[in-house]
Structure 1
């Protein structure tokens, strides 16, 4: 007897990364922030999957901040454009983690 599959949702995550050899960040970067859309049955699973994927890319994850699902963000009044919705749909369809934006940090 198999358990019924729990529905997946897409979570918006902001991931802060530090430096690690081979991370692909510019030489003068001190780290970066990555806006990600990750599929999971709950936010904890989405965070675990995102961290695992980023570690395979030799990124050093320092902190993850969750902003919830599309429905939760809409309820909070977030303005979500068509491009962002399309990336969320893709993450759900592919059961994947999508890095939508990278902001590099540089020491001044």
Structure 2
């Protein structure tokens, strides 16, 4: 409420979105030698999926990675409604992303030709 009183725009409620990001190679990206890129499973907070995607791409670029494509899988509730089984570890990472307003890379799978 204090932000509202000082004229800050009111933001919608933050949610956590599951995103699969394909990254290509970039100098100094830290990916394994010989890999051609990687798939990163990320949990990212945002008021909507578009914001979560923008923030994820920005964070990955700052980390020296080269995002190529992002596929959204929705929120925890949306995933559960589709029948996805979400383990305790992933739920904890999602909570952390929400609490810290952060992008969490939960898994990285390198690609090889």
Interval containing the TM-score (normalised by the shorter chain):
over 0.9
When the two structures are superposed, what TM-score results if normalisation uses the length of structure 2?
A: 0.91
Match of 2:76 among 56, 70, 77: 70
User: What are the residue-to-residue correspondences of 1:1-108 with 2, within 5 Å?
Assistant: 1-107=7-113
Residue 2 of structure 1 and its aligned partner are, at CA, apart by: 4.5
TM-score by length of 1: 0.95
Q: Which stretches in structure 1 are left out of the alignment for 5+ residues?
A: none
Q: Distance in 1 between matches of 2:8 and 2:32?
A: 48
Deviation string, structure 1 residues 34-53 (Cα, Å, up to 9, x no partner): 00000000000000000000
Alpha-carbon offset, residue 75 of structure 1: 0.6
Tell me, what secondary structure is at the counterpart of 1:29?
coil
RMSD of equivalent CA atoms: 0.9
Structure 2 residue ranges without an equivalent (≥5): 1-6
Change in Cα spacing, 1:7 to 1:18, as seen in structure 2 (3 Å) is same
**Which structure features the higher share of strand residues?**
1
Separation (CA, whole Å) in 2 of partners of 1:23 and 1:80 = 29
CA offsets per residue over residues 2-47 of structure 1, 9 Å max, x none? 5433100000000000001010111201000000000000000000
